[in-house]
Amino acid sequence: MIRRQAIAVLSLIAGVVALYLHLYKLGLVGSISCDTGGCDRAMFSSWGWFVGVDVALVGVVGYALLLIASIVSLQPALAGRRWPVTTLLVLAVLGFTFTLRLKYGEFIVLRTFCPWCAISAVAITIIWILAILEFRAVTARLEGKAAPR
């Protein structure tokens, strides 16, 4: 359960960061603190959009879904069920894969660095690892094996 709690906390933190970036991109937040100069370059490039949608908004929605799924999975009646952790794992894999695409664009194509984007990348990577570990633990328990730590 501690992994599910950690996923909830990380989703909340990264979701707030994504919301901040989205509001900045909409012009609703006056300025953004970015010493590298890479934030504007990354956010306002073609890599800052995905099928016409702001990638920060994709992050807001994705982290909100992860937060909801992790809170639901914390309910005692669902502790030993597979579907809540499967949902967390699917969302984490989608988020991690999406982040790999964005990091490629940021580092390789644009040759820049956005510290705000790095917060999201680190958060989703940790969420992905925790989701894998939690899925394996629940699966092992359901199959009667010793749970991996």
Please tell me the class of the 2-142 domain.
Answer: mainly alpha
The per-residue pLDDT for range 57-113, each reduced to its tens digit, is: 999 999 999 999 999 999 999 988 899 999 999 999 999 999 999 999 999 999 999
pTM for the predicted model, two decimal places: 0.90
Other CB atoms within a 10 A radius of the CB of residue 145 amount to 11
Q: Where are the domains of the chain?
A: 2-142
Q: Are 97 and 34 in contact (CB under 8 A)?
A: no
pLDDT at 93: 98
Q: Is the dihedral of CA 14, 15, 20, 26 positive or negative?
A: positive
pLDDT at 8: 98
